[in-house]
C-alpha cells in the first residue's frame, strides 16, 4: 500500500517494487513508479495507440472550446481505461479504509466510488479488491454543503453545482466518448505515516475535500482495469496538492522522472527535484492544461521554416505537456516541416516506409546515429533537446535491416501540439504550480534525486548527497529502498 512519511517537515509517499534513493528537504512526498513504455511494438499497434491518444485529445478540445463537455475536471481528461494507468492506495475516513486510486497528472480532484454508486465496477481485472466509501460509516466525514466556501472552489472550474433537494455540493464530469462520473463532495481525513529516523508510526492525518461518486457511465464502468477512483494532480484549488499546500503539509510543486528503458520505473515527487541542468519555461496563464509557449523547432541546429503563429495559444491551439498521452503530436504546419527535415537528413542511408499512417524508415543497421537531433525551443530560452532515441520507436529488426518509426504524429486538430510520454521519459520534469513554470533536464531516472521545497537550485550534482545549502533543513534518506505498490497498467499489455 502507499505510505506517507512526513518527517520533520518531510512527507514521503512510499509506493512499488523499485529500489529508489532520494535526498529530501522541505515537505516532498515521493512515489516510485512502475513504467511500461512501449518501445518495440509493431506499426498496427502504434496506430492503435494513436487512436486512443486522439480520443483523449478530442475531449480536451471540446472542453477548451467552452462546449458542454467538461474535462475530468478542468485540469485534464485522462480516461483510466485508455493507454495507461498508474495506481496506488490511499487511506480515507475514520476508521481508515484503503482505496486503489489512479495517479493522474492531468486532472484535479481526488474522487472514489461511494457505497451507493450506480455503474461502479464490482471487480477489477487488475486483481485488486475494490472498495467503496461510505460517509455514514466514517465518524469524521462531513458532506460539503452548497454554502461551504470549499464548494466555490469547484464552481471556478464549472464542474460543481448545488443540489437544491439536499443542499449538497455536487459534480458531474462528462467525456466526449460518453463516459462520465458524478457525485458529491465530502470532507474527511487523509492519513499520513510519520517517520522519525528509521521508525514509522501512523499518527498523522489531514482533512481534505474529495469526491464521492454515485454514478459512473461508459468506459469507467468496465471492470477490466477498474480502480476505486482518481488521484488528480492538477492546478485548481480542489486538487489534493493544492489542499495540502494550503495546510503547510506539501509544496505546490510536483516532479516526475520516468525511465524509458524496457524495465520501466521512475518516481513522482510532491516537491521540487533540483538539478543544476534543469531549464524552465513559463506556463501560459489562465489555461485549463499545462500549456507552454513553443517558439521554434531546430533539426541538427537548423531552424525549421515554421510560421510562429502555428504555435500560438488560443482556443484549441497551442502546446500542451500531457503525461496521459503516450506519443507526441505536432500541429500540421510543424509536423510537415519536421518530417521533411528528418527525411532529408537520412535520405542517403534509409528507405522511407509509411504504414497505417506512421512514417518509418528501413536502415541497414540497428544504430540510430544516422538520425538527426531535434530541439524544441520554448519561451525564456529553454530547449528540450531530443536525440534519435527520444523520438524513434523500433518496429522490427532482422539480420538485414531495422525499421525505425517516428513517434511524432500529426495532430488531428491541425493546430494543437501535445508532448506526451514519448519525449518526457529519461528526464526530470518539474511542475512548479506556485511559480507557474515547468522545467526539465535529461536524467538517468534509475539514480537518486535531490528534492527541495526551499527554492534553492544550487545542489550537489552527486544525487546521493545533500548540498550544503540544504543541510540545515534536509533529511538525508540515502541510500533507502522504497518498496511500493504503484503500478502502470497499459492497454499495450493486450498487444504483447
Catalytic positions: 104, 322
Task: For 172-217, give the DSSP string.
Answer: EEE-TTS-EEEEEEEEEEEEEEEEETTEEEEEEEEEEEEEEEEEEE
Let me know: does 270 contact 249? Beta carbons within 8 Å.
no
Please provide residue 276's backbone torsions phi and psi, each rounded to the nearest 5 degrees: -65, -15
Helix segments in 294-387, DSSP class H: 332-346
Q: Are strands 449-452 and 22-25 parallel, antiparallel or unpaired?
A: parallel
Spatial separation of the C-alpha atoms in residues 194 and 29, rounded to whole Å: 12
Spatial separation of the C-alpha atoms in residues 243 and 71, rounded to whole Å: 20
Spatial separation of the C-alpha atoms in residues 222 and 149, rounded to whole Å: 35
C-alpha cell at 106: 492531468
Instruction: Compute the chain's Rg from CA coordinates.
Output: 22
Spatial separation of the C-alpha atoms in residues 295 and 281, rounded to whole Å: 11
Let me know: does 79 contact 180? Beta carbons within 8 Å.
no
Q: Which residue has the cell 517516428?
A: 406
Length of the chain: 496
Query: Cβ neighbours of residue 364 under 8 Å, at least 6 residues apart?
Result: 349, 400, 401
Amino acid at each position: 500500500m502507499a505510505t506517507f512519511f512526513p518527517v520533520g517537515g518531510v512527507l514521503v509517499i512510499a509506493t512499488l517494487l523499485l529500489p529508489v534513493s532520494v535526498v529530501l528537504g522541505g515537505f516532498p512526498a515521493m512515489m516510485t513508479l512502475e513504467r511500461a513504455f512501449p518501445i518495440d511494438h509493431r506499426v498496427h499497434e502504434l496506430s492503435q495507440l494513436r487512436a486512443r491518444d486522439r480520443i483523449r485529445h478530442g475531449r480536451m478540445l471540446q472542453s477548451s472550446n467552452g462546449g458542454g463537455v467538461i474535462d475530468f475536471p478542468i485540469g485534464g481528461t485522462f480516461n483510466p481505461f485508455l493507454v495507461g494507468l498508474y495506481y496506488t492506495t490511499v487511506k480515507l475516513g475514520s476508521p481508515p479504509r484503503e482505496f486503489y486510486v489512479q495517479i493522474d497528472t492531468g486532472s484535479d480532484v481526488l474522487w472514489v466510488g461511494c457505497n451507493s454508486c450506480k455503474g461502479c465496477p464490482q471487480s477489477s481485472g487488475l486483481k485488486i479488491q475494490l472498495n467503496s466509501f461510505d460517509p455514514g460509516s466514517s465518524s469524521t466525514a462531513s458532506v460539503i454543503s452548497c454554502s461551504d466556501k470549499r464548494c466555490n472552489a469547484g464552481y471556478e472550474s464549472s464542474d460543481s453545482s448545488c443540489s437544491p433537494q439536499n443542499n449538497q455540493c455536487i459534480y458531474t464530469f462528462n467525456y466526449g466518448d460518453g463516459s462520465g462520473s458524478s457525485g458529491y463532495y465530502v470532507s474527511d481525513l487523509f492519513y499520513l505515516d510519520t517517520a522519525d529516523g528509521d521508525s514509522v508510526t501512523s499518527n498523522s492525518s489531514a482533512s481534505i475535500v474529495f469526491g464521492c461518486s454515485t454514478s459512473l457511465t461508459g468506459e469507467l464502468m468496465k471492470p477490466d482495469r477498474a480502480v476505486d477512483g482518481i488521484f488528480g494532480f492538477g492546478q485548481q484549488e480542489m486538487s489534493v496538492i493544492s489542499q495540502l499546500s494550503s495546510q503547510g503539509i506539501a509544496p505546490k510543486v510536483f516532479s516526475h522522472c520516468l525511465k524509458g528503458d524496457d524495465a520501466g520505473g521512475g518516481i513522482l515527487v510532491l516537491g521540487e527535484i533540483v538539478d543544476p541542468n534543469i531549464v524552465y519555461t513559463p506556463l501560459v496563464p489562465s489555461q485549463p492544461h499545462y500549456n507552454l509557449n513553443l517558439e521554434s523547432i531546430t533539426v541538427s541546429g537548423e531552424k525549421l521554416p515554421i510560421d510562429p503563429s502555428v504555435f500560438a495559444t488560443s482556443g484549441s491551439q497551442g502546446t500542451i505537456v500531457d503525461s496521459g498521452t503516450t506519443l507526441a503530436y505536432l500541429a500540421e504546419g510543424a509536423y510537415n516541416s519536421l518530417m521533411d527535415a528528418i527525411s532529408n537528413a537520412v535520405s542517403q542511408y534509409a528507405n522511407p516506409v509509411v504504414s497505417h499512417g506512421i512514417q518509418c524508415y528501413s536502415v541497414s543497421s540497428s544504430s540510430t546515429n544516422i538520425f538527426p537531433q531535434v530541439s524544441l525551443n520554448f519561451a525564456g530560452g529553454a530547449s528540450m533537446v531530443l536525440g534519435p532515441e527520444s523520438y524513434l520507436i523500433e518496429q522490427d529488426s532482422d539480420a538485414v535491416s531495422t525499421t525505425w518509426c517516428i513517434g511524432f504524429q500529426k495532430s488531428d486538430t491541425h493546430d494543437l501540439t501535445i508532448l506526451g510520454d514519448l519525449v518526457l521519459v529519461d528526464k526530470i520534469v518539474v511542475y512548479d504550480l506556485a511559480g507557474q513554470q515547468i522545467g526539465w533536464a535529461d536524467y538517468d531516472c534509475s539514480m537518486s534525486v535531490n528534492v527541495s521545497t526551499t527554492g534553492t537550485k544550487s545542489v550537489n550534482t552527486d544525487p546521493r548527497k545533500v548540498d550544503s545549502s540544504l543541510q540545515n533543513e534536509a533529511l538525508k534518506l540515502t541510500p533507502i529502498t522504497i518498496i511500493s505498490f504503484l503500478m502502470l497498467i497499459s492497454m499495450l499489455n493486450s498487444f504483447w
